[in-house]
Structure 1
Amino acid sequence: MLKQRCHFLIFSLLILFVLGCKEEKPEETRPNVLFIAVDDLRTELGAYGNNYIQSPNMDALAASGSLFNHHYVQVPTCGASRHALLTGMRPSKPIHLSNSAIEKEISGQPESKVPETFIHRFRQAGYHTVGIGKISHSADGYVYGYEEPVSEKRELPHSWDELVFNPGKWKTGWNAFFAYADGENRQSLKKQVKPYEAGEVDDDGYPDGLTANLAITKLRELKDNKKPFFMGVGFFKPHLPFNAPKKYWDLYDETTLPVSPNPNIPENINLKSLHESGEFNQYALGEERASLQASVSDAYAKKLRHAYFASVSYIDTQIGRLWQELKALDMEKNTIIVIWGDHGWHLGDQRVWGKHTLFENALKSALIIKSPYLEHQTQKVESVVEAVDIYPTLLDLCGLDNDYPLDGESLVDLMSSKKQQTTEAAYSYFKNGISLRTEKYRLTKYFRGEIPTVELYDHTSDPLETKNIVDDNPEIVEKLMPLWEEGNTGLYAKNE
């Protein structure tokens, strides 16, 4: 009798264990993933309430999927932001804040059971993975300098089954990244260029049109592939230079475009929290130089914003082409589409033209996830979310498990219902500082000698972050600091 009871107990425990385990979806039922990374895309889309921008394709995807109204990146610079996205981990050492983070931390490393990126995890699970354009930091996924020949060393050595790119007449990925319509680039012209161009060319006259063509070709090849696929497509614009075919400039009346609603330096901050727009000022033939001492003229600000908006519209068309091809191939019903901006960009906000700050303009970026599953459609997500959340979200959507730590949390519940997160917080890191974003506040603490070292902004009354109110609200800082500490990964421990 005792022996029978023991057998029954063991059998019951096995049943509970099996039921408690999350089984991966079988390969043939897994959805495809089309992951689209757009460089420097802040929330400058019609879907985010900007009625002056022409972005009909991304707006339509947002209307039929999940639009994240409060998505924040970990680091406001390209390579470091993508390192956090791809690994699902917040920065924990100085190299993680650098554009060379992926090269130094991932490239050249041996393959292990712990995937180097979520793309590697998809490949481990039997997905066919294709990379086109800028998904990691390099323009084409290979490690080499701006003016060097293309190497054969991949930034992500174990993530891609196929890594392809068409640099066209520009010949290398980095030349294409800084391309002008005549085949020259910022490097070849020794930076004696304008920060914008309205090219008398069609969509293929700039590299992003070629990238869309290549992605369409690959989608057609993958239609009859028995494996599910993960395709990453990285578009360059609206990264500087703001170059786009003239027809996209013609969508706008420059005289009616708005200038920044917050063009002044915030009250009660140290200028160390901002910067002198060095990346922008590299374009030596610009009509005016940006500085913290004075704003550029309204006329030039409108010209630059016009250029940025035209670049966004150009990319919107390329994204629309990919979406239409999925429909034409009857693949849309089993493909998850993600549109992700790798960080925001100051368009004259706080007198800055560029990223590289811990302010809302640099940290908030576009995130749209269109799932083919009915329960994930037509949701506007108001919760504060982070780029590191995308890794576990994609695994969750595709029925893949993981047995290793991630800093991010799956967003699927937010996509499936009106449920909001219990604790809403996003953490960002740069300029010797850590910034916490909650539903109502942004609290930033800098590890530096210049004061003030703490900044507090109330997004209920001051969404443009025009005044640091830390001196008048010590009780709010005291309440938020324990939550801020949860994001302190020890990155700046040596500087305390």
Structure 2
Amino acid sequence: MIFIAFLSILSSFFSCAKQDIADTKMPKQQKPNVLFICVDDLRPELGCYGKTYIHSPNIDKLAATGAVFTNQYVQVPTCGASRYSLLTGMLPKTGGHLSNEACHNFISGKPETEEPETFIHQLKRNGYYTVGIGKISHYVDGLLYGYTEPVGTEYELPHSWDEMLLNPGKWVTGWNAFFGYADGGNRQSLNRQVKPYEMGNVGDLGYPDGLTAELAVDKLDELAKKEEPFFLAVGFFKPHLPFNAPKKYWDMYEESKLPLSPNPYIPENVNKAGLHSSGEFNGYKLGDEEATLEGPVSDEYARKLRHAYFACVSYTDAQIGKLLDGLDKLGLSENTVVVLWGDHGWHLGDQLVWGKHTIFERALRSAFIIRAPGKTEGRTISKVVSTVDIYPTMLDLCDVEMPHETDGKSIVPLLDNRVASWTEASYGYFRNGISLRTERYRLTKYFRNAKPTVELYDHIADPNETKNIAAEKPEIVKKLTPLWEKGNTGLYNK
């Protein structure tokens, strides 16, 4: 009996020891890491969006292993305000929410409260180590200072980051780098006596985004050694003006074969008040031609500008490839959510505009790709989604509780292909107007005296928005108006 009891104790001992060894070998279940990539002025003109003339192999590879959203719309077609909606999950409620200074005016300098300032702040509160590199909010290195001022010391998002970084290189300050040219000059120092494009005889590190990618890859190596999950946001400058990129990316394209805008004219039955005269673009004083609403620039110049923009896209694509390769080499890809988001679109001569700042399709629709662990790969999702949906989506993917209600909704059910119903409606705000985008239509109403104040576009019959059919289809306007009203936050009444 004693011998049997001894065997029983010995068996129990080895069983426990075996379990202890197993426990030490099994890593603790960890929340997913996040790599969030913001790209300035990136319209969805990429290989994965069906544009075969664009060289975007790295973004296309990401898309092939994730989900491409073909109808993602930002809320405001300007950098700072669009990013404010991204970070807070909220539609604009006042005129101040349409400004590039939205984060500065509504978040900066405020004490920390129970309500998080951004979704990044909420992740930080829930165990994430948060790092920002480049332009995530509006100020390009997260510090508040003017274009020609010394680098500031106050953070635009004071409670969101454990680290906020940028390597401005030879340009010395973030804003100089943002508008930088290959020789170290910038738009400000040269008093705008510059072209809106440059083909630089430099390598990737000859422009700021190459430095940003290098810094981010190094930071990934550090983050991989941490016990807590990380949120790494990387903000690339290009293809924002000036369209400057290394020569090797220009060489990927044959300019004479590049397609021109499918609609380089003001749409029928609209007022010019809904458009603009490309002031930001024309601010580059040595441009070959001036863009106006009186007629298109020459085909030759339009192709040169499109060539420059596409070269910038390919340059940024290469930097994104370095980040994705870094994840793979560190063995992080299997447990990292990767998001690629463009902060708005850009008119490349469409409707005679060279810029953003309209509530037409070209300015509001942007690139959006998600790759998440355990989700179906290689999917194209055509449902209409909004930038404000990203806040609840990120917390959902990271298994973090939503701290309060936002104007968005999680798109994880779309990623899982298990949504029974989905209201396809996205709202855009600018130029005294509110625009509703549904699966088929865009309905825009302006708060102004200039007529007409109502525009309707049928995206099946007229995907390039060449003709306002509101007067021809009053029954559709009437049918869509209640849904449009849900996006009327009253900002134009304040």
Question: TM-score, normalized by length of structure 1?
Answer: 0.93
**Residue-by-residue CA offset, 1:378-427 (whole Å, 9 max, x unaligned):** 22111000000011001001111113110000000101116474310000
Provide the rounded CA distance (Å) in 2 between the counterparts of 1:141 and 1:185.
19
Structure 2 matches for 1:343-354, cutoff 5 A?
Answer: 343-354=344-355
Structure 1 position 206, deviation (Å): 0.2
SS of corresponding position for 1:472? coil
**Residue-by-residue CA offset, 1:347-395 (whole Å, 9 max, x unaligned):** 000010000001000000000001121x332221110000000110010
What's the counterpart of residue 226 of structure 1?
227
> Do 2:116 and 2:403's aligned partners in 1 also have CA atoms closer than 8 Å?
no
What's the counterpart of residue 395 of structure 2?
395
> Do 1:414 and 1:420's aligned partners in 2 also have CA atoms closer than 8 Å?
no
> Do 1:186 and 1:193's aligned partners in 2 also have CA atoms closer than 8 Å?
yes
Q: Which runs of 5+ in 1 are unaligned?
A: 1-25
SS of corresponding position for 2:323? helix
What's the counterpart of residue 249 of structure 1?
250
Cα distance change on mapping 1:289 and 1:107 into 2, 3 Å: same
> Do 1:27 and 1:227's aligned partners in 2 also have CA atoms closer than 8 Å?
no
Provide the rounded CA distance (Å) in 2 between the counterparts of 1:461 and 1:110.
51
Provide the rounded CA distance (Å) in 2 between the counterparts of 1:55 and 1:36.
15
What's the counterpart of residue 72 of structure 1?
73
What's the counterpart of residue 378 of structure 1?
378
Provide the rounded CA distance (Å) in 2 between the counterparts of 1:27 and 1:189.
55
% of aligned pairs identical? 65
What's the counterpart of residue 19 of structure 2?
none
Provide the rounded CA distance (Å) in 2 between the counterparts of 1:344 and 1:61.
20
> Do 2:171 and 2:185's aligned partners in 1 also have CA atoms closer than 8 Å?
yes
What's the counterpart of residue 186 of structure 1?
187
Amino acid aligned to 1:111: E
Provide the rounded CA distance (Å) in 2 between the counterparts of 1:393 and 1:30.
14
Cα distance change on mapping 1:404 and 1:418 into 2, 3 Å: closer
SS of corresponding position for 2:340? strand
**Residue-by-residue CA offset, 1:309-347 (whole Å, 9 max, x unaligned):** 000000000000000010000011110100000000000
> Do 1:383 and 1:424's aligned partners in 2 also have CA atoms closer than 8 Å?
yes
Provide the rounded CA distance (Å) in 1 between the counterparts of 2:326 and 2:257.
35
Q: Which runs of 5+ in 2 are unaligned?
A: 1-26
Question: TM-score, normalized by length of structure 2?
Answer: 0.94
Provide the rounded CA distance (Å) in 2 between the counterparts of 1:39 and 1:446.
27
Amino acid aligned to 1:424: E
Provide the rounded CA distance (Å) in 2 between the counterparts of 1:38 and 1:160.
19
Structure 2 matches for 1:87-166, cutoff 5 A?
Answer: 87-166=88-167
Provide the rounded CA distance (Å) in 2 between the counterparts of 1:162 and 1:358.
35
Structure 2 matches for 1:40-439, cutoff 5 A?
Answer: 40-373=41-374, 375-417=375-417, 419=419, 421-439=421-439
Amino acid aligned to 1:358: I
Cα distance change on mapping 1:252 and 1:98 into 2, 3 Å: same
> Do 1:28 and 1:228's aligned partners in 2 also have CA atoms closer than 8 Å?
no
> Do 1:383 and 1:420's aligned partners in 2 also have CA atoms closer than 8 Å?
no
Amino acid aligned to 2:492: Y
Q: Does 1:33 align with 2:34?
A: yes
> Do 1:144 and 1:151's aligned partners in 2 also have CA atoms closer than 8 Å?
yes
Provide the rounded CA distance (Å) in 2 between the counterparts of 1:303 and 1:258.
11
Deviation beyond 6 Å, 4+ runs, structure 1? none
Structure 1 position 28, deviation (Å): 4.8
Provide the rounded CA distance (Å) in 1 between the counterparts of 2:124 and 2:416.
26
Provide the rounded CA distance (Å) in 2 between the counterparts of 1:248 and 1:320.
14
Provide the rounded CA distance (Å) in 2 between the counterparts of 1:57 and 1:437.
29
SS of corresponding position for 1:301? helix
Provide the rounded CA distance (Å) in 2 between the counterparts of 1:136 and 1:376.
30
Number of residue-to-residue matches in the alignment = 468
Structure 1 position 475, deviation (Å): 0.7
Cα distance change on mapping 1:342 and 1:420 into 2, 3 Å: farther
Amino acid aligned to 2:101: S
Amino acid aligned to 1:285: L
> Do 1:92 and 1:490's aligned partners in 2 also have CA atoms closer than 8 Å?
yes
Provide the rounded CA distance (Å) in 1 between the counterparts of 2:201 and 2:29.
46
Provide the rounded CA distance (Å) in 2 between the counterparts of 1:279 and 1:420.
44
Provide the rounded CA distance (Å) in 2 between the counterparts of 1:230 and 1:168.
24
